[in-house]
Amino acid sequence: MTGRTFDDAFRADFENLIKWRRDVRRFRSDSVDPELIDHLLKLADLAPSVGLSQPWRFVPVVEEQVRKKIVASYERCNAQALGGYEAGDAKLYAQLKLEGLREAPLQFAVFCDETTDKGKGLGSQTMPETLRYSVVTAAHTFWLAARAYALGVGWVSILEPEVVRSALAVPDKWTLVAYLCVGYPQEEHIDPELERAGWEKRK
Amino acid sequence: MTGRTFDDAFRADFENLIKWRRDVRRFRSDSVDPELIDHLLKLADLAPSVGLSQPWRFVPVVEEQVRKKIVASYERCNAQALGGYEAGDAKLYAQLKLEGLREAPLQFAVFCDETTDKGKGLGSQTMPETLRYSVVTAAHTFWLAARAYALGVGWVSILEPEVVRSALAVPDKWTLVAYLCVGYPQEEHIDPELERAGWEKRK
C-alpha cells in the first residue's frame, strides 16, 4: 500500500512537470537509451482506457523513406494552412517552427486499434470516440514521463492521417491519433518560443 | 529556471501517481474544498492543446434535476449495453459498478468548444479532432492532479452526449468529451475492483 499518498513536495514538483511539459520542435541529435523508451512505453500502458481496452499502438517510425513521406505530408498540409491566412498572419505563420520531423531521433505514430476485443466494448458503445481518447491519455502519459527524464516530445498534427497509415502499412482499422517526435531538446522553454508568442499576441 | 529538472525520487513518486490514478466509482459524501478544485482546474489549463487553443470547458453539474437527467441517460445506455451481451457476460456485466453518479459530490461535464478562435486554427486544420484530443489532455491532467491531493475521479462514458448537452443548455457547437465524477474515494485500489477483475479475466 506504499506510494498511494503524496506530499506537498511531490505536488510542487508535479506542478513543475506540468508547466515544463512543452511541445518541443528543436531536438539535439543525441540518441536515447532504448531501455528508457521501453520504460516510458510501459508507463504509457498504465494510462486510463475505456473498459481497460488499451487500444494504443505506438509504431516507431525508423526508415528514412517512411520519414520522407511524413515530411512531405507535413509540407503539403502546412502550405495549405499558410494559404488560408491573410498577409499579416501568413508572414508570422511562415516564421513558426512547428515540428522537429527532420531532427528528432525518435518518432512514433500512435494509432487507435478500433477493432480491439480487449475490454469487450465496455463503456465505449455510446461514445465510441472514447477509444481514441484513451490513446490520447497514453500519449500524454508518455509525454509527461519523458519530460521527467529530461526528454522532449513534440506532437505533430499537421499531417494527413491516411498518408501516415499507408506509409507504415498498418491495418485499415487503426486510426492515427498522434505523431510524436522524441529526443533531447536543444533549449528549455517554460513559455512558448518568442516567435510563437508574437503569433499568439496578434489579434 | 528552477523546477525544470526531476530526480529519481520524484520519478518514483510520479510512477506511483500513474499507478494509483484509478477510475473511482465509490465516493464518500465529504465535500471538497472549492479552492482545491479551482487549483486543479488551473493546472488542467496547463495541459497541451493544439495551437494553444485551450478549447476545454469544464461545466459543473450541480442542480438536482440536471443530475437526474444524467442518471436517466446512464441507465438507458447501460440497459442497452447489457442487452448486447450474452448470458454469461451479461450476468457479470450487471454486477459491475460502473459509475458514481449518485454519490460523487462534484461532477463536471467537460466540453470542447469547436468554435474557439484561440490559436487561430493553428495545427488543427488537417486533423480537427485534435481540438477534442486537447480536451482529453486537460481532463487527464485534472485527474492526475486530483489524485495527488487524494481525490478520486471517475470518467463516465456510458452517456448520451446530446442529453448532457441539452440538460446543461450549453452552445450547439460544444462537444461532450468527458463526464467526470469527483470526490474522496471510499476505498483505495491499485488494481481493478474484484468484480471487475472477474469481468476482465472472462474470455
CATH number for position B74: 3.40.109.10
For B48, the closest of A23, A122, A190 (CB atoms) is A23
| pLDDT, position B110 | 98
Which tens digits make up the pLDDT trace of B35-71? 999 999 999 999 999 999 999 999 999 999 999 999 9
| pLDDT, position A197 | 65
B148 three-class SS: helix
| pLDDT, position A152 | 96
Domain count, chain B: 1
Burial class (CB in 10 A: 0-12, 13-18, 19+), B23: buried
pLDDT (average), residues A79-90: 92
Residue pair B145/B64 in contact (Cβ under 8 Å)? The answer is no
| pLDDT, position B157 | 96
- Name chain A contacts of B11, Cβ cutoff 8 Å: 148-149
Residue pair A62/A116 in contact (Cβ under 8 Å)? The answer is no
Give the A window 115-144 contacts with B, CB below 8 Å.
119-127, 129-130, 132-133, 136-137, 140-141, 143-144
| pLDDT, position B119 | 85
| pLDDT, position B197 | 65
Q: Is residue A3 part of a domain?
A: no
Burial class (CB in 10 A: 0-12, 13-18, 19+), B153: buried
| pLDDT, position A53 | 95
**Complex-level ipTM:** 0.95
Strand partners for B81 = none
Q: Is residue B15 part of a domain?
A: no
Q: Is residue A15 part of a domain?
A: no
CA dist A186 → A25, A105, B80 (Å):
9, 12, 52
Beta strands of A41-190 (E only): which ranges?
A: 56-60, 106-113, 152-155, 174-183
Quote the pTM value.
Answer: 0.95
The pLDDT > 70 percentage for chain A reads: 92
Cell of A72: 512531405
Residue pair B73/B16 in contact (Cβ under 8 Å)? The answer is no
Cell of B31: 465535500
For A10, the closest of B48, B84, B148 (CB atoms) is B148
Residue pair B46/B141 in contact (Cβ under 8 Å)? The answer is yes
Alpha-carbon B59 to chain mean position: 12
| pLDDT, position A195 | 58
| Preferred mutation among A1, A4, A53, A191 to probe B, highest tally of B CBs within 10 A | A4
Which tens digits make up the pLDDT trace of B99-131? 999 999 999 999 999 999 888 888 889 999 999
For B157, the closest of A5, A126, A192 (CB atoms) is A126
Handedness of CA B149, A4, B27, A138 (dihedral sign): positive
Encoded amino acid at B3, one letter = G
| Preferred mutation among B49, B74, B76, B126 to probe A, highest tally of A CBs within 10 A | B126
Q: Is residue B73 part of a domain?
A: yes
DSSP A32-78: --HHHHHHHHHHHTTS--GGG---EEEEE---HHHHHHHHHHHHHHH
Is B147 a residue whose pLDDT tops 50?
yes
Residue pair A142/A44 in contact (Cβ under 8 Å)? The answer is yes
pLDDT (average), residues B20-34: 95
| pLDDT, position A174 | 97
| pLDDT, position A194 | 55
How far apart are the C-alpha atoms of B156 and B173, rounded to whole Å? 21
The dihedral over CA atoms of B86, B88, B94, B95, expressed in degrees to the nearest 10, equals: -160
| pLDDT, position B191 | 65
Q: Is residue B17 part of a domain?
A: no
- Average pLDDT for chain A: 92
Cell of B80: 442497452
Report the range of poorest mean pLDDT among B85-94, B98-107, B126-135, B160-169: B85-94
Report the range of poorest mean pLDDT among A76-80, A131-135, B149-153, B193-197: B193-197
Q: Is residue B82 part of a domain?
A: yes
Residue pair A183/A100 in contact (Cβ under 8 Å)? The answer is yes
Residue A190 — pLDDT band, cuts 50, 70, 90? low
For A137, the closest of B17, B52, B136 (CB atoms) is B136
Strand partners for A23 = A153
The pLDDT > 90 percentage for chain B reads: 83
Alpha-carbon A49 to chain mean position: 17
| pLDDT, position A192 | 60
- Name chain B contacts of A123, Cβ cutoff 8 Å: 98, 157-158
How far apart are the C-alpha atoms of A173 and A111, rounded to whole Å? 9
Q: Is residue B11 part of a domain?
A: no
Is B76 a residue whose pLDDT tops 80?
yes
| pLDDT, position A1 | 39
- Name chain B contacts of A49, Cβ cutoff 8 Å: none
Residue A196 — pLDDT band, cuts 50, 70, 90? low
The pLDDT > 70 percentage for chain B reads: 92
Unique residue bearing C-alpha cell 481493478: B192
Q: Could you tell me the residue range of the domain that residue B101 belongs to?
A: 24-201
Cell of B118: 484561440
Is B75 a residue whose pLDDT tops 50?
yes
A192 vs B132, residue with greater confidence: B132
Which tens digits make up the pLDDT trace of A144-189? 999 999 999 999 999 999 999 999 999 999 999 999 999 999 977 7
Unique residue bearing C-alpha cell 528514412: A64
Alpha-carbon B22 to chain mean position: 11
How far apart are the C-alpha atoms of A87 and A90, rounded to whole Å? 5
A89 touches B: beta carbon within 8 Å:
yes
pLDDT (average), residues A11-36: 96
Test A13 with B6 for CB contact under 8 angstroms. yes
Q: Is residue A13 part of a domain?
A: no
Is A200 a residue whose pLDDT tops 80?
no
Report the residue of chain B nearest A22, measured CA to CA.
B48
Report the range of poorest mean pLDDT among A4-13, B20-29, B112-121, B187-196: B187-196
